[in-house]
Amino acid sequence: MSLDISNWKIEDVLRSLRSRETTATEICQASLARIAAENPKNNSLITVTQERALARAAAIDRMAASGERLPPLAGVPVAVKDVIVTEGTRTTCGSRILENYVPPYTATAVERMEAAGAIVVGKANCDEFAMGSSNENSAFGPVRNPYDLERVSGGSSGGSAAAVASGMAVAALGSDTGGSVRQPASFCGVVGLMPTYGRVSRYGLVAYASSLDHIGPVGRSVKDVAVLLSAIAGHDPLDSTSAAVPVPNYVSELDGNLKGFKIGVPREYFAEGLSSGVRTQVEAGLQALGKLGCEMVEITLPHTEYATACYYIIATAEASANLARYDGVRYGYRAPGAASLSEMYQKTRGQGFGAEVKRRIILGTYVLSAGYYDAYYLKAQKVRHLIAADFSNAFEKVDAIAAPTAPTPAFRIGEKTANPLEMYLSDVYTLPGSLAGIPGISVPCGWSSAEGDGGSSSEIKKLPVGIQLLGKHFDEARLLRLAHQFEMAGGVA
Amino acid sequence: MKITEKDVRYVAALAHLDLTEKETAQYVAELDSILTYVEKLNQIDTSTVEPMAQVLHKAAETDALREDRDRQGFRQEQSLGNAPESGAGHFKVAKVIAR
């Protein structure tokens, strides 16, 4: 029987390579076989990097044969969200405008992951330029949820989450601007981390909203996410927003003590709009955290209800500036048949961008335009300060915050596409942490019945639910410890 | 209405976006509902609040500027490699100045 790695974690790869049970080449082939079987169903990957992956696997095997010490990610098949550039491998951003773009350089996070031995097996599908909450905004088609192919994977890092959930890759990199790692992790039943703003270099992450963009790891366990974060975190001279804060060994910190740990439960996250299925699971999750010896404290984050409005002003304003570079001159699609330069810009962008990207560019340009700047953009920046202050006030009393990741489990494909505002409101629990720049992790917290499926005679499907844990700036070590021990204690059935 | 068809056309022109009639009508309706929703920010008195343009964490400030030393950049053919149209070491575009 051929090797099946669809449930493997990073330590399984390392153990089997160190004991010479198998080779990196066999593991890579198993990953590629799984991709061939699953990708046609869930559409997680836009590009499969078979040749390059096999060549790198062979190099790992030569290392192992010569008795060299294997690095922490040796031979681990990973998927990389297609907004993160990879030299020589096309990087589309899920957009028609970059359909044939082959970057001349590699992102720092990918370079560091590869230096640690990881093998990129494919570029993961995503909402166009990471703008979306369901992966339905990709020019390459939606990613389908591995647990119910009629439902969304979440977004915008839906391909990264679904590739890990369906066993194509052991781990993945995504990006999180307003919840884009945490929400799909929750929908697909995997672990996803948004690190502190500045913790991981964004050199080579195609910019969407620069004051909010983060690269974050996705894995099948908290430990795998910790291994990946240890590999990619740290200052990078090529990203002036990356912080020169020392990187602890996140893996060895996982087993520390949680006695006396205080967890805040923000009442605003359990108010109207939270589905009963998610509420039941997350409340059970809070009890499980209590059993670990944590003290649960009710807190208030009073400006939570303003986060969605605040985010969609700031993010679209930044996007309108960042996406000005797609002009059909230096790279990407160029519309044919334009008589003037200005007509070429307009047609290129009109034809090259999808509906959501155009919507956000127009909204962002509007809120920055003369006469509206103060009323919208400046106002939102002030409210952002209040939202960030809510968290710093809370962290004077508690060590971490626990809440749902998303208000519902995965919704149906097409369910929210007719109403952009309704789609935006599905990010309500991830946006505040993004605006504050604090780290947040989504960890599986059991299963819920699919909303709206009740009463049908067919078998009611169970869908994954995630619990979100938020921590102080650069406190990933303790956040991961909390998440790891929650997971080790069995989480929630 | 918070936003009119004229506004959407004006903003789309600023952003160099060619929109069809249908798209324009759709964006007017959608942006109107989004802008009505974001009005809720006006419920908060922010007269004494400083705007927050970047994440405020307590990490030591890093040097925003690298040391001014030469380093390997892209070769000309790499820089031009993705250009829709290039020639003689340049990016080519349609005529800019009309006669």
> Which residues of chain A does B28 touch, with a Cβ-Cβ cutoff of 8 Å?
none
Catalogue the active-site residues of A. Answer: 81, 156, 180
Substitution target in A356, A382, A392 with the highest count of B β-carbons within 10 Å is A382
Q: Computed from CA positions of residues A16, A20, A22, A23, in that sequence, does the dihedral angle turn out positive or negative?
A: positive
Prior bond of A156 cis (ω within 30°): yes
**Chain A neighbors of B90, CB-CB under 8 A:** none
Q: From chain B, pick out residues whose CB is under 8 angstroms from the CB of A358.
A: 17, 19, 23, 27
Residue A14 belongs to some domain of the structure: yes
Judge whether A158 and A148 are in contact, CB under 8 Å: no
Residue type for position A402 = A
CB contact under 8 A, A359 and B30: yes
- Say if A321 falls within a structural domain: no
Cα separation of B35 and A290, whole Å? 42
**What does DSSP say about strands A77-81 and A171-176: parallel, antiparallel, or unpaired?**
parallel
Distance, in Å, from the CA atom of A424 to the CA atom of A410, rounded to the nearest integer, reads 15
Distance (Å, rounded) from C-alpha A313 to C-alpha A328? Answer: 27
When CB atoms are compared, the residue of B20, B58, B82 closest to A101 is B82
Calculated CA dihedral for residues A165, A166, A168, A170, nearest 10 degrees: 30
Backbone angles phi, psi at B11, to 5 degrees: -70, -40
C-beta atoms of B17 and A320 within 8 A: no
* Residue A390 main-chain phi, psi, to 5 deg: -55, -45
**241-300 of A, contacting B, C-beta below 8 A:** 241-245
Closest partner CB to A330 (pick from B27, B34, B91): B91
What are the two backbone dihedrals, phi and then psi, of residue B60, each rounded to the nearest 5 degrees?
A: -60, 145
- The structure's pTM equals 0.96
**Within 10 A of A349 (CB to CB), how many other CB atoms are there?**
27
- Specify whether the CB–CB gap between A46 and A140 falls below 8 A: yes
Task: Domain of residue A42: give its range.
Answer: 10-232
Residue by residue, pLDDT tens for chain A (493 residues) are 589 999 999 999 999 999 999 999 999 999 999 999 999 999 999 999 999 999 999 999 999 999 999 999 999 999 999 999 999 999 999 999 999 999 999 999 999 999 999 999 999 999 999 999 999 999 999 999 999 999 999 999 999 999 999 999 999 999 999 999 999 999 999 999 999 999 999 999 999 999 999 999 999 999 999 999 999 999 999 998 999 899 999 999 999 889 889 999 999 999 989 999 999 999 999 999 999 999 999 999 999 999 999 999 999 999 999 999 999 999 999 999 999 999 999 999 999 999 999 999 999 999 999 899 999 999 999 999 999 999 999 999 999 999 999 999 999 999 999 999 989 998 999 999 999 999 999 999 999 987 554 444 455 679 999 999 999 999 999 999 999 999 999 877 6
For residue B11, which residues of chain A lie inside 8 Å, CB to CB?
362, 365-366, 369
Is residue A94 left, alpha or beta, with left meaning phi > 0 and alpha meaning psi from -120 to 50?
left
CB A469 within 8 A of CB A400: yes
Return d(Cα A157, Cα A143) in angstroms, integer.
Answer: 10
A363 touches chain B (CB under 8 A): yes
Residue A390 pairs with which residues in a beta bridge? none
CA distance A229 to A217: 7
Q: Chain A residues with CB inside 8 Å of B30's CB? A: 359, 420-421
- Nearest by CB to residue B83, choosing from A330, A353, A369, is A330
**Backbone dihedral region of A234: left (phi > 0), alpha (psi from -120 to 50 degrees) or beta?**
left
- Best to test chain A binding among B32, B41, B69, B92 (most A CBs inside 10 Å): B41
> Does residue A395 sit at the B interface (CB-CB below 8 Å)?
no
* Interatomic CA distance for residues B89 and A1, integer angstroms: 55
Cβ-defined contact of B82 to A303 (cutoff 8 Å): no
- Whether A69 is covered by a domain: the verdict is yes
- What's the complex ipTM? 0.94
Among the partner-chain residues B37, B51, B57, the one whose CB lies closest to the CB of A196 is: B57
A157: β partners: none
Q: Total domain count for chain A?
A: 1
CATH topology of domain B1-44: Histone, subunit A (1.10.20)
Instruction: Find the CATH number of the domain harbouring A170.
Output: 3.90.1300.10
In B, which residues are within 8 Å of A102 by CB distance? 81-82
Residue ranges for chain B with pLDDT beneath 70: 59-65, 99
* Pairs of CB atoms within 8 A across A/B: 180
